[in-house]
Each structure stands twice: as C-alpha cells, then as structure tokens.
Structure 1
Amino acid sequence: MSSPAAPDPALLDELLDVALDAARRAGALLLDGRPADLAVAATKSSPVDVVTEMDLASEKLVLELIGARRPADGYLGEEGAERPGTSGVRWVVDPLDGTVNYLYGLPSWAVSVAAELDGRAVVGVVYAPARGELFHAVLGRGAHLDGGPPATRPLATRPAPPWGQALIATGFGYLKERRVRQAEVLLALMPEVRDIRRAGAAAVDLCDVAAGRLDGYYERGLAPWDRAAGCLIAAEAGALLGGRPGHGPDGELTVAAAPGVYEPLQERLAALHAWTD
C-alpha cells in the first residue's frame, strides 16, 4: 500500500497560521475575560463534568474565525459545534481543555486547535496562556514551544529512564463507575514507577510529554478534541503513541511516551485491561 501523498507545504503554512491565530485569540479571551464570579453554565456527562460561559465564548470565537478564514472546511468542537466541509480539511477544537482547572483558577488549562487533512492531523496548536506557553507542530516538521527561555525552542522527549524511575501522568473520567476502575489501574501502577501526576488537561499532559517534563501519559475516555493537537505535538517531538493492543490512540485508551517507556507502559496497561470499566 502506498503512503499518503505529502501535504502541500503552502497549505500547511496557511493552516498553521489560522490555528495559531485562533488559539492565541481564544486564549487571550479566556485569560483576560474571566469574570470574577465565573459560574457553571451546564453539565455534561455528570454533575462534575462542567461547561462554563467562557467555554462557549471561546468556541464561538474560534468557530467564527475559522469560518471567516476557511469557509469550506469542516469543524468539530467540544461544545457541540459541528459542520461538514468540502475542502478535505476538518478542524478539531477544544476551546477550553481543563475547564475545572479554569473554574478553580488553576493554571493547567489550554485552547487546543488541530487541523486534519483527509482524516490525518497535520497541524496542532495547544496554547496554555496561564503558563505563558504556546505549543505547535506541523506534520513532518517537528514540534516547538513558544514561551519562556529561550523564546522559541524545538521539543524532544526526554531520554527514557528505567521503568521504576518513570514519571507518568494520567487523567480520570467523570462517571463514578469509570473512576473506580481507573483507580484500580492507578493503584497497580503506582508502586512500579517514580510517581504519578494528574494535571487535569489532556492536551497539556501530551505537550508535557513532548517537552520532556513527563516520561509518559495514558488516559481512557479522551474525545477527538482532547487528543488531536496534543498527540501530533507529542509524536513530532519523538513520542510513541498508541492505545489498546493493535490500535492507535482513541476513546478507549490513549498512550503517549518516550521510546523505552512507551513499551513497558503499554504492556502494563494491556495486562490491566485499562480500557475496560
């Protein structure tokens, strides 16, 4: 089977420009426009899975910007916006990843914007404005971070430590039954590794793998908008990605880790059937 044709470089440049613009503007709105009395506007899967008025405002801004710049493109967003396209490009957007962190004033939240071409992510941007960091990647061009010293730098996963010294991140679902099962998996893994982290925003965790701040990350239950941009950024930084045995990252399980950590992490998750409730 032949490999997919390489995307047009000019198109990739355009998509990156749109993604950066959308993420920066939405991030500025969220950072500067957060009301002092921010409240929950709605709940999704459970009473602790929340939407705020700022999630909705960010989604509206991104949708309108992309619609004006690329009207023939498709769009899939977390807060319900979805439209078909005719260009072969689809935008997959989480306008506020880490809503609970944002609600509580914690800094680990982000705007995640990915562009897919014929079903494959080719551009990914994750902007974490409270951390002053803008992560971005283009398929085949590597991943980069803007923010902090130096101002812009290429990203690379950290060298793999022994399994017992690996720092692993994860996340949890919002349904009680799933959380019980996820706690069982966590309980089995925790004695085996250096430590476990739970920051509360999948896109940020994936970028932290890319930046060498984590050795690996796994989570069950991620939606396309949770992982699309972050997975591309991690992969372009050298991380290996997968899910259940024989599958890529999906809603059942997403695994991202530096080579040398990915293999034992996925092996242990498979033995624990981490994708089951």
Structure 2
Amino acid sequence: MKIKNQSSLSSKYWLLIIAVVCVILMGIGSLPGVRGPLRFVANYTVIPMQKGISYVGMWMSDFSKNFETMNDMKKENSELQSKVDELTIDNTRLRQDQYELERLRELYKLDENYSDYNKIGAHVIANNGTNWFSDFTIDKGSKDGIKVNCNVMAGSGLVGIVTEVGPNYAQVRSIIDDASNVSGMVLSTSDTCIVRGDLKLMSDGRIRFEKLANNDNKIEVGEQIVTSHIGDRFLQGLFIGYISEIEVDSNNLTRSGYITPAADFSKLQEVLVITTTKQDMINKDAGTKDGGE
C-alpha cells in the first residue's frame, strides 16, 4: 500500500513562506534600533544569504561581461581574418604581377636583341597535356600577321616554329619535340650541326646536337649554339642554347653532345612570334636581286 504525502502544504507555499521570512529578517537586520537575540538571528541568517546573493550577482555580472567580451573578440577576430584574407589576395596579385613583369622584361630584352625582325607578343593558352611545352597553342593568329613557319621565341632564345594557323590562334611545335630538328651553328666557329628534339632528355634539362664536324676548331663546353644560315625554316642567328657536353663520335669524323636550351620549356606563358619567315626573307632577297638587274 502506497503512503501518501502527509504534508498539507505544497512546496510552492513553503517557498513563499521562506521568502517572506527572509524579507522580514532582512528588514529587521537593517533597522538601526533593533538589538538582542532577534538582531542576532537576523544577522546570522540574512548575512550569509546576502553574501550568496551578492556572489551570484557578481558572477552573473562577470558572466555577462565575459559573454560580451567573447562576442567582441569573435567580431574582432572575424574582421582581422577578413583583413588577412584581403592582404593575402593582394600579396598573391603583387607576386603574380612581379613574375609577369620579370617575364615581360625578358621578352623586352629579347625584342631588343632581335630588333631587325618584326615581332608580336602572344600568350600561351594550351599545351599538349604533358609537363613540357613540346606542342602548344598561342592566342594570336592570321589576323595578327602570323603564318606557318613563323619562328617563336621566349626566355633568351628560340622556342619553336608555327605549324598551324587560325584567325585567332596558332599551333607551335617546340624544338624539344621528338619530331623537331633545327640546323644549328657554333657561334664562335660557324661550324654547323643538327639540333634534334628529344622529350626524354628534357627531364635533365637538355637537348641533343649531332653531326658537328670534327675538325681543328676547338669547341668547348659553354659555347653558344644559334640557328644557321642553311636552314630552310629558321631564321639565321637565333640563340638556341649553350653546349653542356661534347664528345667525338666513333667514326672520328663528327662530334655530338648536349645543349642546355635558352628557354624554360616547363613553364612557357608569353612568347614573341617573328612575323617574317625564312621564305619571306628569301623572296625579298630574290626580288632585290631581280630589281637590281
């Protein structure tokens, strides 16, 4: 059998009674003329309660201040993070502008070195999907005066040759492509050679040359290789690169070796296209001779 609660008063009434008693005691404790046991009981019961209330009030006040401070800190942190993001973006843009300026300075120097030729600048917009720009597309075409067999330059020298042209684009095959071969010449001796593309060699940052005559001319590492006068597609005197290794072939008649190219074929972005082709030069010379006769 369950025993029912014998309390005749519910808890809410007890709470009300206790609150009234506390208020009375607090009032008594605050009266200046009250003395004796009643004053002692009031102080004994009310003062700890006042301390508790005061402590709770201070805690609530501190909590409120801390909460406001935390919100202020979150807001300030958010603002600082926004500023950091803006500065990071600005810094990235500045670095990109700096790198682009350096590349454009290289092209400007290249333009000055070959001031005899008409040229136009272009951006590389696609490659063949490999790590090396052996075959790539630029954003200038026939509308800009570009045609097949125009020579293309970047960095400090020759990059390749135009193989296909559209109104607003052109396809370029670089000198490192397996299908490429260029008639080269040692600048100091005028000895000719063949520069052949080989993508397997580009991991070492070099291309191959061969069929260099083994004569009395002393040719050493560091010699400059340029395009020769006997090529039918490349203009004469375009810088290809430096000899990095040379040896005499087994036939003892020729020499071969490797060249460090003048251009970086891993990150081409801007190029210079010489709008005058070798055939244009030949036709011009032929016309001059005919006119002279």
Between Structure 1 and Structure 2, which shows a larger proportion of helix residues?
2
Q: Specify the structure having the higher radius of gyration (Cα).
A: 2
TM-score (norm 2): 0.21
Structure-1-length-normalised TM-score: 0.21
